[in-house]
Chains A and B, each alone.
Chain A
């Protein structure tokens, strides 16, 4: 286990929030077709409020801080916020579209010691990227920003949201990332809008294309291993919980609302009215999220994929129940392995009185949870462990 995973494990045991995603604005200079945000300003936290929140987060033990939006540079005080965050010694990751980053901004980010900049790129072709962002010239500006950031020696990663409209440009974006010398991540998940509107889900890539992604060795590594049928779940799997949301991580909106995760819009408190740590320790919503184990999930606990599924409790919550399945993840599990999920089988049963073909599921087994447990080693008097 890496040292970072060890510390996450420790944070979990101590009940500490080790990472926080803070959106400082929902305003944006782009209008991406798949965006789930309402871009109007409904009363963002002031600089002073954000700086106070940062101090509270540092006191609470937060180490990893993602500063995101909206477009972070839409706030004039963006660099003041990052500067304060770095003075408080957070490991800072910034998510941006890069359109407003030129030499000066790139140099400032480097000077402040920002760990990583994540930039969205949807295609290597301007006509496709700009049609998604609805901002003419945006790809050119975004790529210019990546070059400025790279020339400063900053770590940059390209995030590509896969949709029906840009699916065929995937290889082009990977080649572009290679040429620029930056990391590439891909996300095939479209999140419903914050107001519950699910119409943007129509942009999602169809299952057959998802299957192509899972069979691409360049993306997943060992395809055979990645697409292997799930092993039978054991007690550890059934006692496991889905992800870090609410356990060691949470999300804070520009209005101070606290949620278990940016993709889990369960209102759990507001830092304008309550102290962050009071919310973290005492919110009934976060306590409920933390109480849920795989065995408590009515459908998923009976599913072959329960131990290996990427089931997002936030997407499940948006579908109606945080204990329910997330159909986007059912689709992923199915396309990855060819084995239908318990949710799919249940739906098939409800949809037809008697199935023509009956499918017998193989039994399944465990995999490491997000925080695998490790045994300790005897410590030296002054112990340091390093990991590059």
Chain B
């Protein structure tokens, strides 16, 4: 399967509070909250690190979960956020797409 690269859109508002991340689309005002695992993927979405590497290097390490389950959950997460234009997804690295995120 082709590698996925993910980057946070610029057309959002976002802030992490107490391990969770609030994200609001500046395009349609959809509001999301991301739990700790989703927030970890979100923070790592720099457009350069392949999603599989985020899953093995971050999610599996930080949350003690097996790779397959984490990958499936990450794929679903990416699909949903990309539908709202909040995450950008490509099979090529996305240059200059990441933003400083707190």
> Are B31 and A387 touching (Cβ within 8 A)?
yes
Q: Pick the contact of B102: A14, A59, A115, A382 (CB < 8 A).
A: A59
B101 in the interface, Cβ–Cβ < 8 Å?
yes
Main secondary structure of the interface of B (DSSP, over half): mixed
> Are B17 and A380 touching (Cβ within 8 A)?
no
> Are B18 and A14 touching (Cβ within 8 A)?
yes
Interfacial chain B residues near A384, Cβ < 8 Å: 32-35, 38, 77, 80-81
Determine how close the nearest CB of chain B comes to the CB of A388; give it in whole angstroms: 5
The CA-CA distance from A4 to B13 in the complex, in Å, is 13
Contact segment of A89-97, A186-194, A297-305: A89-97
B44 in the interface, Cβ–Cβ < 8 Å?
no
Q: Which bracket fits the contact residues of A?
A: 35 or more
Q: A58-B102, A115-B24, A384-B80 are in contact. Are A63 and B15 (CB under 8 A)?
A: yes
> Are B17 and A16 touching (Cβ within 8 A)?
yes
Which chain A residue lies CB-closest to B40?
A: A382
The CA-CA distance from A16 to B19 in the complex, in Å, is 13
Q: Pick the contact of A383: B10, B15, B34, B65 (CB < 8 A).
A: B34
Which chain B residue lies CB-closest to A55?
A: B102
A131 in the interface, Cβ–Cβ < 8 Å?
no
Residue among A3, A380, A384, A385 having the largest count of chain B Cβ atoms under 10 Å = A384
Which chain B residue lies CB-closest to A114?
A: B26
> Are A89 and B32 touching (Cβ within 8 A)?
no
Determine how close the nearest CB of chain A comes to the CB of B33; give it in whole angstroms: 5
Q: A11-B17, A155-B29 are in contact. Are A63 and B22 (CB under 8 A)?
A: yes
Determine how close the nearest CB of chain A comes to the CB of B77; give it in whole angstroms: 4
Q: Which residues from 373 to 388 on chain A have a C-beta closer than 8 Å to any C-beta of chain B?
A: 379-388
> Are A91 and B32 touching (Cβ within 8 A)?
no
Q: A87-B100, A382-B37 are in contact. Are A4 and B73 (CB under 8 A)?
A: no
Determine how close the nearest CB of chain B comes to the CB of A250; give it in whole angstroms: 16
Q: A7-B17, A18-B17, A113-B10 are in contact. Are A386 and B102 (CB under 8 A)?
A: no
Which chain B residue lies CB-closest to A6?
A: B33
A355 in the interface, Cβ–Cβ < 8 Å?
no
Q: Pick the contact of B31: A3, A11, A62 (CB < 8 A).
A: A3
The 4 closest A-B pairs by CB, nearest first: A113-B26, A91-B13, A383-B35, A382-B73
Interface residues, chain A, CB within 8 Å of chain B?
Answer: 3-4, 6-7, 10-11, 13-14, 16, 18, 58-59, 61-63, 86-92, 113-115, 155, 379-388
